[in-house]
Chain A
Amino acid sequence: MTEALSFELSRPAVDPPRLPEADVAGPGPADVLPRDVLRSRPPSLPRLSEPEIMRHYSRMASLNYSISENFYPLGSCTMKYNPVVNEAAAALPGFAGLHPYQDEDSVQGALELMWRLEQALCAVVGVDRVTLQPAAGAHGEWTALRMIAAFHHSRKENRTEVLVPDSAHGTNPASAALSGFHVVEVRSGQDGRISLADLESKLSPRTAALMLTNPNTLGLFEREILDIAEMVHATGAMLYYDGANLNAFMGICRPGDMGFDAVHMNLHKTFTTPHGGGGPGAGPVGVKSELAPFLPAPTVERSNGHLVLDHKRPQSIGRVRSFYGNFGMLVRAYTYILAMGGDGLSQASQDAVLSANYLRKLVENDLEMPHEGPCMHEFVASAHNLHEEGVRALDIAKALLDRRFYAPTVYFPLVVPEAIMVEPTETESRATLDSFAQAIKEIVAQAKTDPQGLRDQPKNLPVGRLDEVAAARRINAYLQGQSDDPVLRWKAPVEGAPKHAC
């Protein structure tokens, strides 16, 4: 059952909501705004009593789906459970009550946390320095590419191309393009790993960097990473690590040791800070010493036991985020690292890889497995085997919703047709993995006996199968001025006007 809009629930008998008078001195709206934009009467907000509006929002909250309630098999996105201890630490008044303009001497604890988090992240990924400023993964990619550009510029080298594999996250070519580079695609070989021959043919004195995810988005470890690093460095280019898949080998191996020069980490993926709608994110970037002069200013430095923000960095690419990044996320990530310890982090990665391989094995006869296992922390299956029945990856994802599972990532990576990308993470019990595999088996069985029934799902959720084509066409028609219908369900009544004018 869907919930009515608060406007639809509105009752004329209830007094309209009253906003408090402004409690700061200043000009009134009429003093600063032109007459034609001033309201002549109050806005027609919904009229509901407090219990009514409270119940309305609670009912909507109960329609939500979250990692605290259910399993999230979302490949390439590492939707980890967010431990409660993270929240307890972030809510400590000494952190939660800080003001960003406070004097350095009065925020030594916060600076200490940032300094220690930098040390911890340096140790996990094997780099010399880390900036905590970037507010998300793609922001981290862009920050690293700006540093790489500044590095080449400082050596008077004109390098204009960034190489990106065809299995890369879409943010990689986007970040490269936004940084002013030309994007050159490198092909995957038959085994799903980067083709060294193709890489060799694309590397040139124009190459600024190769952006690589390891394990790659197919959940496969790039075994030839040391050779790749040597080839890239031999041409004078930099090797960049997209940290989206860091959860596969924390505490087991380190991008820095593989030859990566710049590394971004997603605190909202690997280090359990809230993700998606629960964000904001945080995408710190680690660099080897030769890139360190270009780090965004300010950095946190320790001198004689005192912590200071160092703004005097002449080669810095400048600040990439206001104040000190998403500080609340830094507290949560540092709490997670301390709570887990080094051994705990490597155990988490081992369990994540074990979960993915266990689940892959359970469903390997139900869906196509385009690449040979074992996989790392995630695997990519294909619904191509259900082509004859007219069942697609999208239908499987929708049918999973009906069985109270969140849908896995579908149609990514692009190199696999009808891709279904699953990442169970380390926290799921065997019982959860078994029940997810069972759901896949039931869906595939139904695809063979009753494909139309499958295409009609979900049927048990507040909203059924959407007509995505009609929705996209109707909104495009409105945006292009070819239709007057903005495709909204509720239309505001025009006060004092005849009904049909709505």
Chain B
Amino acid sequence: MTSTTTAKTTIEFDDRTVRRFMIASIFWGIVGMLAGVFIASQLNFHQLNLASWLSFGRLRPLHTNAVIFAFVGNMMFAGIYYSTQRLCKARTASDLLSSIHFWGWQLIIVAAAITLPLGLTRGQEYAELIWPVNIAVAVIWVVFAVNFFWTLARRNEPSLYVALWFYIGTIITVAMLYIVNHLSIPTSWTHSYTIFAGVQNGLVQWWYGHNAVAFFLTTPILGIMYYFLPKAAERPVYSYRLSIVHFWSLVFIYIWAGPHHLLNTALPKWLQMLGTFFSLMLWVPSWGGMLNGLLTLRGAWDKLRTDPVVKFFIAAVTFYGMATFEGPLLSIPAVNALSHYSDWTIGHVHAGAMGWKGFMAAGMFYWLTPRLYGTKLHSTSWANFHFWIGTVGILVYVGSMWVSGIMQGLMLNATTPDGTALVYPNFIDTLTSIRAMMGFRIIGGSLYLAGMLLMALNIWMTIRKGSPVNETREVAVIERSQRDTMGLKEAFLNDPVACTLGGMVLVLAWLFLPPGADVVALVCAGVFIFLVVRRFQKGHHIWSRWHDSLLHNWLPFTVLSFVAVVLGGLVQIIPTVMVSRAKNVEDRIQQPYTPLELAGRDIYVSEGCYNCHSQMIRTMLPDVLRYGDYSRLGESIYDHPYQWGSKRTGPDLAREGGKYPHSWHYDHMKDPRAISAGSNMPAYPHLFTAKFDQKTLWKKVAVMTRLGVPYPAMTATEVKTAAIEQGIQIVKELEGQGRVGTLPDTQIVALIAYLQKLGKFDVPDLEGRLKGTPAGMPFPLRPGIPDEHRAATPAK
């Protein structure tokens, strides 16, 4: 390319923002991992639940949020701010926005660190922060997005490098996921109810939760890999076309895989199928990223011996490959029946978090610090030691979680040879058997934390030695005509877009059209794909040229990647949210909570009970034998938020109501070990004195009513009176069982009321159900839920 005029300008990169984010990441990373080691210890030593605000249920969200949003978040911003400026040959658009972004994000983290231990939570995993903080997160994210895209628009490099594609995907997708999953109605300044309930909430939550892993913890790190790894290895990237194929397929497929967090549950089968098979299809695009990372090192493998940065990067990419193979494996329903709710999942995420994100962060920081401070790294041997102690830590951690998860899973699912009874009927026995493994986890985590501390020290010494430098560079200013000139037609009306969308429409028609038409659609899809492949073989240079020119245009690129990520969510969530509630409930409708039970439920959520207890009996014999009849969709239809859970450190509670007398729960909450010897559950003495919230209870009932929960019309006083009257009743019953001295307005009374309500449902009368189903002749090709089509056809 020769340009006619080459105006040159000297720019100074904004490296101060990079330094800030890097230091923040290291600081919060240590805090988050310290919290992790502490809560891991609490699982083995219940005595460490020192106070209500230091109990496992409240600190576990603190650990996950700190590591995800504070450690990886700040690390991602450091990497993005550093590489984007250089890849765009332009200083970040606005220093003010950079500052707002940095300080805003840190304030959000501080707010999280204060509110979570206080028990202020939304009760959904990785989406625990209360609504005012949610708004702050959204605003700061938009600030970041504006700053980023503004920089893109002012770039002096016509073409967008693959790292930037991943950053673009990250920014738009996280915005979409975060906003939808946090839609709530406030009941006070610190509390809100999500607008989704039951299965809808579960689906939206894991659409978000799974893709938080994808688009907060993976795509930005892949972008960082694409910039920093070739830099450190001083080798060209392995394959440009692999970048293209794995980028587009990764962002498209990832979104569909969320339901694999809800396998074997009451979630409709078609969604489970989509979750499983998209997870399997996701394996290969993920490995595309791994290959492009690992194979970039071809010809430079010797650097692995000498350069700790390359060492960290290559180990990180390897852990990425391991975790993205394990993920699809765990998404197979039969494997998931064993692994779900167990420590295997915990090991899986830590392989990703510590191995992939943590080691990418370490490599990047060791590479950046000397450049940001104009000096050499204080000690390479410390960095090497960090690498080894970290690797051993990860392996100990992940290995012990594999053993623990598989062992406990096998024990919980074991039935006697005749298949009529559980081999290990007592949950505690399975817990006792993994105690040693939980101990090894503490050791593994501590080793990893020690490595982090060593890195912090190493970087601090380096910083002391050097002084902050902002790189300046002379760049050629490019003309406006060299970038961002693509018209709408060129961007969206072309072979690649038309073929991809056409194929997708036909495949969707196959999935959703009624019997008969679906097979026709499948055949059409097959023919269409065949023709597309033929067309591609003849004219692939047209496709390549189009993609090359797309890379010169940030806005069409962004719009198309948004189209790619939005589709999966629309297909999965809209049918579930739109279908009337009556259709979702099958044969059971949950009984709405009384005001006191609702207050108790908020305590359950606030104490983070869902971190260890599920409320979802899966359609599996061992689950049904152990906990009772499998859960139906209608049984959590009024649960805002849903509490199906994702981990069983303790037993499932879906049918806990009425099983035991009040006194059992009373004694158990006071001292769990008095009831079940060997339990690791924290004691909850503060519930016996603290009062439940009476002030905003009416507001909560009102919001629930607005969300469609059928409460009778009640005034604020009536709500309060109803709660206290039920409290008095429970206190009387407790007295009858020899538990005297409880006040009716204490939290324990509300919690008992809630626990005794779990699993209570009504069976709607047949007539009422029939009324809900529309009559009349349906349009012959009306799309519908695949499960209904299958039920409508006679069995084999």
Is the A/B pair a real complex?
A: no
Listed in ascending order, the chain B residues whose CB lies under 8 Å from chain A are: none
